[in-house]
Amino acid sequence: MTTLSFEFFPTKTDEGTEKLLAVRDELAAYNPEFFSVTYGAGGSTRDRTYAIVNEIQRRGIAAAPHLSCVGDSKAEIRELLTRYQEIGISRIVALRGDLPSGAGLGSSELRHANDLVEFIRAETGDHFTLEVAAYPEMHPQAPNFEQDLENFVRKAKAGANSAITQYFFNADSYFYFVDRVQAMGVDIPIIPGIMPITNYSKLARFSDSCGADIPRWIRKQLEAYGDDSDSIIRFGEEVITEMCHRLLEGGAPGLHFYTLNQARASLAVWKNLV
The pLDDT tens digits of the residues spanning 40-92 come to 655 556 788 899 999 999 988 899 999 988 878 899 899 999 999 999 999 99
How far is residue 79's CA from residue 85's CA, in Å, rounded to a whole number?
Answer: 10
Q: Are 92 and 131 in contact (CB under 8 A)?
A: yes
Looking at residue 99, its pLDDT comes to 62
The beta strand positions in the chain, using DSSP E, are 3-8, 34-37, 63-68, 91-95, 129-134, 162-165, 190-191, 193-194, 254-258
pLDDT of residue 161: 97
Q: Which residue has the higher pLDDT, 132 or 98?
A: 132
Task: Please give the pLDDT value at position 45.
Answer: 67
The rounded distance, in Å, linking the Cα atoms of 50 and 74 is 17
The pLDDT value given to residue 90: 96
* Residue 101 confidence (pLDDT): 55
Q: Higher model confidence: residue 1 or residue 84?
A: 84
Q: In what order do the strands lie in the sheet with 129-134?
A: 190-191, 162-165, 129-134, 91-95, 63-68, 34-37, 3-8, 254-258, 193-194
Report residue 100's pLDDT band, with 50, 70 and 90 as the boundaries.
low
Over residues 135-187, the pLDDT tens digits come to 999 998 899 999 999 999 999 999 999 999 999 999 999 999 999 999 999 99
Q: C-alpha 225: how far from its chain's center?
A: 28
Q: How much is the pLDDT for 44? A: 55
Beta strands in 69-209 (DSSP E): 91-95, 129-134, 162-165, 190-191, 193-194
What pLDDT, on a 0 to 100 scale, did the predictor assign at position 46? 75
Q: How many helices (H) and strands (E) does the chain have?
A: 10, 9
Decide if 116 contacts 66 (C-beta within 8 A): no
The pLDDT value given to residue 152: 96
What is the DSSP-derived secondary structure letter of residue 191? E
pLDDT for 102-132, tens place per residue? 555 555 678 889 999 999 999 999 999 999 9
In sequence order, which residues have a C-beta less than 8 Å from that of residue 112 and are 6 or more positions away? 69, 96, 151, 154
Phi/psi-derived region of residue 201, left when phi > 0, alpha when psi is between -120 and 50, beta in every other case: alpha
Residue 196's pLDDT is what?
Answer: 97
φ and ψ at residue 66, rounded to 5 degrees: -75, 145
CATH topology of domain 3-273: TIM Barrel (3.20.20)
Asked if residues 8 and 36 have their Cβ atoms less than 8 Å apart, the reply is yes
pLDDT digits (tens, 9 = 90+) for 225-248: 999 999 999 999 999 999 999 999
- Amino acid 41: pLDDT: 56
Q: Which residues are known catalytic residues?
A: 7
Whole-angstrom distance, CA of residue 50 vs CA of residue 43: 11
Give me the phi and psi of 122, to 5 degrees please: -65, -35
Give the pLDDT score at 241. Answer: 98
CA-based end-to-end distance of the chain? 12
If DSSP states are collapsed to H, E and C, what string results for 40-72? CHHHCCHHHHHHHHHHHHHCCCCEEEEEECCCC
pLDDT tens for 17-34 read 999 999 999 999 999 999
Q: In this predicted model, what pLDDT tens digit does every residue of 204-230 receive, in sequence order?
A: 999 988 889 999 999 999 999 999 999
In the chain, domain spans = 3-273
Q: Are strands 63-68 and 162-165 parallel, antiparallel or unpaired?
A: unpaired
